[in-house]
Amino acid sequence: MTSVSGSGERILAILDLFSEDRPEWQPDEMMRQLGYSRTTLYRYLKTLKDAGYLVSLPYSGFVLGPRVTELDFLMRRSDPMIDAGAPHLKQLAARFPSSVFLVRWYGRKLLCIASEVSASQPLTSYPRGRPMPLGRGAISRAIVAFLPTRERRALVTDFLDTFVQTGQGETVEDVLATLRRVRRDGHATAKGEVTPGVIGVAAPILAGDSSPLGALCLTSDARDVIPPTLKSIETDVQRAAAAVSAQLGFTITPMQSIA
């Protein structure tokens, strides 16, 4: 049962039920999951359906509706990170056979919001809109390394098993030491952690207080990346992420207060 208060939060809790693993829900399942009464649930479902956020299927349950697609279209046109990052995605993809991503950080989620692909056979498994894993891969480390100290420690504690599985250390303190190195270097590099055979390099897009708004990441077939190429990718990705932050109007201080 989910604990929420207020009609706005209770309606959002319904939308939060939908995921890649569970794209369709029956009302009875929603009631069991959320603890809402039948009357309350159907009132909220009607509101969401009338607004286009949900669609009811004949003799079945509910799925997300067309309003979600409409909002996605509007976000593509209005998100300043996409506008600032698009030229850099194109430049990086033109220089290296790769897939290049802009990733937004919100809550505890990593979500691709824009990409550019130049690889003839791209290997990425996380297209736009599909949440990426926490604790695994260059994007995760590039963002977590720049979180405020307390939030960083809490996240590492909660996802310690995943960090350990990817060789980032055996204890919370070990992983935090790894993240301090990422913070010092200004970028993270990972090999085969998210998708087998893929090397990824990511750098954070930062706000003025050095907290992460997201990341810019380039992934490529590891067979195409020799050491000099990797060094060039790391340098270019870090510069591009810094340029996106600057264009968004933030002051970048990646070496500031390594905690």
Total Cβ atoms within 10 A of residue 71: 12
CA distance 132 to 109: 7
Q: Which fold has domain 79-247?
A: Beta-Lactamase (3.30.450)
Tokens of 111: 């979500």
Between 66-78 and 80-95, two packed helices, what is the crossing angle to 10 degrees?
70
Mean pLDDT of the chain: 90
Give the residue from 184, 254, 243 showing the smallest Cα distance to 212: 254
Chain segment 207-230, per-residue pLDDT in tens: 877 789 999 999 999 998 999 999
Stretch 66-73: mean pLDDT, rounded? 94
Cα 142 from chain centroid? Answer: 11
Confidence band, pLDDT 50/70/90 cuts, at residue 55: very high
Chain segment 151-165, per-residue pLDDT in tens: 999 999 999 999 999
State the residue for tokens 């009875």.
28
Give the residue from 187, 197, 215, 233 showing the smallest Cα distance to 122: 197
Chain segment 5-43, per-residue pLDDT in tens: 568 899 999 999 999 889 999 999 999 999 999 999 999
CA distance 179 to 171: 13
Give the residue from 7, 75, 19 showing the smallest Cα distance to 46: 7
3-state SS, residue 238? helix
Give the residue from 186, 192, 143 showing the smallest Cα distance to 167: 192
Q: Model pTM?
A: 0.82
How is the chain split into domains, by residue range? Answer: 7-67, 79-247
Q: Which CATH class is domain 7-67?
A: mainly alpha
